[in-house]
Amino acid sequence: MRRLTNVAMIIGAACYLVSCSDAPTSHLNQQVSPTSSAASTARMRLMSQDEYAYAIGDLFGPDVEVTQTIPRAPRVTGLLAVGTGVAAVTPSMVERFHRDSHLIAEQVVGKARREFLVPCKPAGISAADAACADKFITTVGRRLFRRPLSEAEHKSMVQAAGEGAVRLKDFYAGLSFTLAGMISSPQFMLLTETTEVDPHNARRQRLTGYAKAQRLSLFFWDSIPDEQLLRAAERGDLHTERGVAQQIDRLVNSPQLERGVRAFFSDMLAFETFADVAKDNVIYPAFTQATVPEAKEQALRMIAHHLVAERGDYRELFTSRKTFVTPNLAILMGIIAPGPGWSEYEIPQSSQRVGLLSQVGFTSLYAHPGRSSPTRRGKAIRELVLCQKVPDPPANVDFSGFEDPRGKMNTARDRLTAHATNPVCAGCHKITDPIGLSLENFDGAGQFRTTEGDAAIDPSGTLDGVAFNTPEGLGKALHDSPALTSCLVSRLYSFALAKAPGANEKDYLETLRAKFAGAGYRVPDLMRMISNDAAFFALAAAPTTVAGVTP
């Protein structure tokens, strides 16, 4: 490892074969044109952790170990996808990107994989071979950068690979450092969209075909474009309605669509916070750290199966009795596991565990380490599922009434009733607690119960005037709420374009909502509607020309 580090210094920090200054940024602050209600700006944002991992896996194989950890972006207007556009990249992050890219590159060109990942054999393993390096760099660079390499990029990379091979007397070592430089470069790590003059209107700009390919692949597959998308971009197909429609059909009907759906719902439901989940093992001995990833995966499997495999109605996600279990989750759910690994499971009609929100994932995520939390659960439903902002609590809130140290109030309902007598808190709790209390039959680990302490639990609640007295009733109320589908449309549109909807896009979103309803509330169809509309690629006013960037 020390020898590799020295080589990095010798060949001049190969991770910056392409300068950060080459990244186009001057067009990122455009304002939306008043003539195009759904127009967006060309964008540049940092890759997410999953996008990075999928890109490496798609290009080099899923068995390549990815050690890279990309810091969590800020949540902006309800989504991390929007926040990645303002995420900061610190010097320590760049150093980590550089280090981890070498670990990936060493696997790619190592003896176990070079035979099928490097498309040629060098004339001699201990010397430079420009022709073989050229073939590898051209092929891999096109996928990593989502476009053909510029002449200057290509020349510098082949030269660096040759210099490394000569210094180390190892062709593959030189190739490894060049690949590491490509993986850690801003051209890979930053998802930058390039523009060109619109041939139909010289006063306007449009996204290049490669930028359109990237936008499509990230939305549907949560990864970089495959070779078919890149070839469509190269031919100009993505500048035609027919060409775009053909690619959308292919993307929607691919097994990889599940990745895009999972990515969206992970973001929408703030599942990144599973990384912070911890439970008191004295109170909840069956909930271990091994349970946390399974609880998250249970929710995502349920979502993907219902929405993608079955092409189900989105609203029925909250009333469905189909889920997936493991032996660990079965213990928490009070059932016998059907098998040793993941198994599909039909929840019996007699059970109150129905719909996404009563699964172990949601109920354990939105709870405290040692108890349930009607307020957290109600707030999550309001903000994440219905897109309704709940104000933050004031800094001077008195929690003494809620904590009830003498134990006179046996249930969460008793304690919240006392807490809500504070007029400072009452306004927020009135919109969260009546929802969350209907999930009180599930403790902080997602285990079903009928009592808390010595008192029977009352799971009755209301949602916007609709009363219910079971978790199943909450699911039905959500199913029938117009806010449920309205929120999904708004969030999915924001996710697709990595921006919050503008005030002038209200009519456009209403049209999308009507089309979504007409299509039976099927999420893949909504994704198709968003991406097949001219608004998906529409740009605002023409950006400043950026020199030295290959469109």
- pLDDT, tens digit, for every residue of 265-310? 999 999 999 999 999 999 999 999 899 999 999 999 999 999 999 9
Task: Look up residue 547 and give its two tokens.
Answer: 């020199």
Residue range 514-529, pLDDT digits in tens: 999 999 999 999 999 9
Quick one: CA dihedral 401, 407, 410, 412, positive or negative?
positive
* Residue 454 banded pLDDT, cuts 50, 70, 90: confident
- Residue pair 366/381 in contact by the 8 Å Cβ criterion: no
Q: How far apart are CA 525 and CA 38, in angstroms?
A: 19
pLDDT for the residue numbered 38: 56
Phi, psi values for residue 395, rounded to 5°? -65, -25
Q: Which residues of 97-128 are buried (b: 16+ CB within 10 A; e: fewer)?
A: bbbbbbbbbbbbbeeebbeebbeeebeeeeeb
Q: Is the pLDDT of residue 416 over 90?
A: no
Phi, psi values for residue 313, rounded to 5°? -65, 125
pLDDT for the residue numbered 315: 98
Q: How far apart are CA 80 and CA 74, in angstroms?
A: 6
Task: Look up residue 510 and give its two tokens.
Answer: 């209403």
Q: Of 35-39, 57-61, 107-111, 266-270, which range is least confident?
A: 35-39
Q: Domain segments of the chain: what residues?
A: 2-25+46-190, 282-480
pLDDT for the residue numbered 86: 83
- Residue pair 323/345 in contact by the 8 Å Cβ criterion: yes
Q: How far apart are CA 122 and CA 402, in angstroms?
A: 72
Q: Is the pLDDT of residue 236 over 90?
A: yes
Q: How far apart are CA 188 and CA 173, in angstroms?
A: 21
Q: How far apart are CA 493 and CA 19, in angstroms?
A: 33
Helix residue ranges per DSSP H, 269-406: 291-304, 327-333, 360-365, 374-380, 400-403
Q: How far apart are CA 19 and CA 549, in angstroms?
A: 11
Task: Look up residue 63 and give its two tokens.
Answer: 């068995």
Q: How far apart are CA 389 and CA 387, in angstroms?
A: 6
| Average model confidence (pLDDT) across the chain | 87
Greater confidence (309 vs 28) lies with 309
Q: Of 166-170, 221-225, 247-251, 502-506, which range is least confident?
A: 502-506
Q: Is the pLDDT of residue 426 over 80?
A: no
Residue range 467-492, pLDDT digits in tens: 999 999 999 999 999 999 999 999 99
* Residue 409 banded pLDDT, cuts 50, 70, 90: low
pLDDT for the residue numbered 173: 97
Q: Of 133-137, 323-327, 425-429, which range is least confident?
A: 425-429
* Residue 344 banded pLDDT, cuts 50, 70, 90: very high
List C-alpha distances in Å: 18 to 14, 145, 516: 9, 11, 43
Tokens 């009452």 label which residue?
Answer: 426
At position 470, the amino acid (one-letter code) is T
Residue 515: how many CB atoms within 10 A of its CB?
A: 16
Residue range 67-108, pLDDT digits in tens: 878 888 899 989 999 988 888 888 888 899 999 999 999 999
Return the axis-axis angle of helices 482-497 and 506-518, rounded to nearest 10°.
Answer: 120
List C-alpha distances in Å: 6 to 14, 96, 129, 165, 358: 12, 17, 21, 13, 54
DSSP 276-288: G----TTT-TT--
pTM value?
0.87
pLDDT for the residue numbered 400: 53
* Residue 413 banded pLDDT, cuts 50, 70, 90: low
- Residue pair 3/167 in contact by the 8 Å Cβ criterion: no
Q: Is the pLDDT of residue 30 over 50?
A: no
* Residue 32 banded pLDDT, cuts 50, 70, 90: very low
List C-alpha distances in Å: 181 to 119, 133, 166, 189: 19, 14, 18, 11
Burial of 380 (0-12, 13-18, 19+ CB in 10 A): buried
Q: Is the pLDDT of residue 208 over 70?
A: yes
* Residue 23 banded pLDDT, cuts 50, 70, 90: very low
Q: How far apart are CA 354 and CA 253, in angstroms?
A: 29
End-to-end CA distance of the chain: 37
Task: Look up residue 444 and give its two tokens.
Answer: 């902080």
Q: How far apart are CA 224 and CA 214, in angstroms?
A: 6
Helix residue ranges per DSSP H, 308-452: 327-333, 360-365, 374-380, 400-403, 412-419, 423-436
Burial of 96 (0-12, 13-18, 19+ CB in 10 A): middle
Residue range 152-207, pLDDT digits in tens: 999 999 999 999 999 999 999 999 999 999 999 999 999 999 999 999 999 899 99
Q: Which residues of 386-409 are buried (b: 16+ CB within 10 A; e: fewer)?
A: bbeebeeeeeeeeeebbeeeeeeb
Q: Which long-range contacts (CB under 8 A, 24 or more apart) does 208-214 make?
A: 208/147, 208/233, 208/551, 209/233, 209/234, 209/235, 209/236, 209/237, 209/238, 209/239, 210/146, 210/147, 210/551, 211/42, 211/551, 212/238, 212/239, 212/244, 212/537, 213/146, 213/238, 213/247, 214/146
